[in-house]
Homo-oligomer: A and B are copies of this chain.
């Protein structure tokens, strides 16, 4: 099966680290990329560095990437949807409020899990997304073709697409990104307040502490927005972390060596089992899933794959002549194909599976 050939025109709104990296990567593949930024000097620098061909929005862009600060995304996405007929996607760290606010079939929420420190276009690199996970958040109203286009372009940037509902995305990034960031800041703050009294303290900070607090060195300005937009999920995870630290505290207080060891051993196994960033699927299977006229089938099928831990290596939409009806064609690793097929059957789909050799 062939990888879909991407259309040749794209735009980026926001020519910082992420937008600039998207531009560099697409232009290296022969795309024509235009871009805008709230800061004209950033536009000029992006031009100079070859991240964009020209300043402006392209009405013929197949995809427009909104790489603006979280609070500006909805307005910029609406502007892009009005200016173009193609897909519009974003790269913000919180998805549910943005996706709900925009609520448009041509908008596909997105979040690349890479390059969170916003450094400006001078830090941009065409390799930034190589091997990274890029979450897309299709919902019931999302247009299948626009989703397939965005997924294909994102995969062309070297990223692995994981489809999640916006709410699920927000709950999960609270666990793996937002609360860890706040925790790093808390640890750094505690060390710093004691360092005022004991100048030796920070000299004792070896590799482990440096690793744990590294993200606290990132740009703080993005976090008030993120914490405000993802408030409830973050509060829930902070409470859970408080519970867990309380549990560990009790073990330490009681000299409960056995439970402490068991807890740390579970954490060790989990850390060692963290999936490697570069997914290397071996044999793949093709699932053809007819989606006669079912609202939200695309979102349901692709997010099911993510929930089952099945990586979608490729995705295509084959349309019937009757318009809405069609067939989703998905490539997944052979190892996950059976679980995925069973999950689809449970939800009333009738997938056909064949192993590709």
Contacts and interface: CB of A to CB of B under 8 A. Distances in A.
A307 to B, nearest CB: 6
A187 B261 CA distance: 16
A114 B206 contact: yes
A42 interface: no
A227 interface: yes
A192 B175 CA distance: 10
A270 B209 CA distance: 13
B266 A186 contact: no
A249 interface: yes
Interface string A325-341: 00000000000000000
Nearest to A262: B220
A199 interface: yes
Given A208-B116, A249-B235, A270 B186 contact: no
A220 B271 CA distance: 12
Contacts of A203: 133, 160, 162, 275, 306, 309, 311
Contacts of A306: 199-200, 203
A44 interface: no
User: How many copies of the shown chain assemble into the complex?
Assistant: 2
Contact of A209 (B176, B205, B248, B261): B176
Chain A interface size band reads 35 or more
A162 B200 CA distance: 8
A186 B245 contact: yes
A212 interface: yes
A113 interface: yes
Residue among A164, A213, A264 with the highest chain B CB neighbour number at 10 A: A264
Interface stretch (A28-36, A74-82, A252-260, A349-357): A252-260
Nearest to A187: B180
A181 interface: yes
Contact of A192 (B207, B252, B267): B267
A8 interface: no
A309 B214 CA distance: 22
A172 B272 CA distance: 28
A208 to B, nearest CB: 4
A291 to B, nearest CB: 21
Nearest to A269: B192
A223 to B, nearest CB: 5
Interface stretch (A9-17, A48-56, A101-109, A236-244): A236-244
Contacts of A185: 248, 263-264, 267
Contacts of A234: 252
A242 B246 contact: yes
A245 B241 contact: yes
B245 A182 contact: yes
A245 B235 CA distance: 10
12 contacts: A175-B191, A177-B208, A180-B208, A184-B212, A186-B241, A189-B263, A199-B308, A199-B310, A203-B309, A217-B272, A227-B251, A235-B249
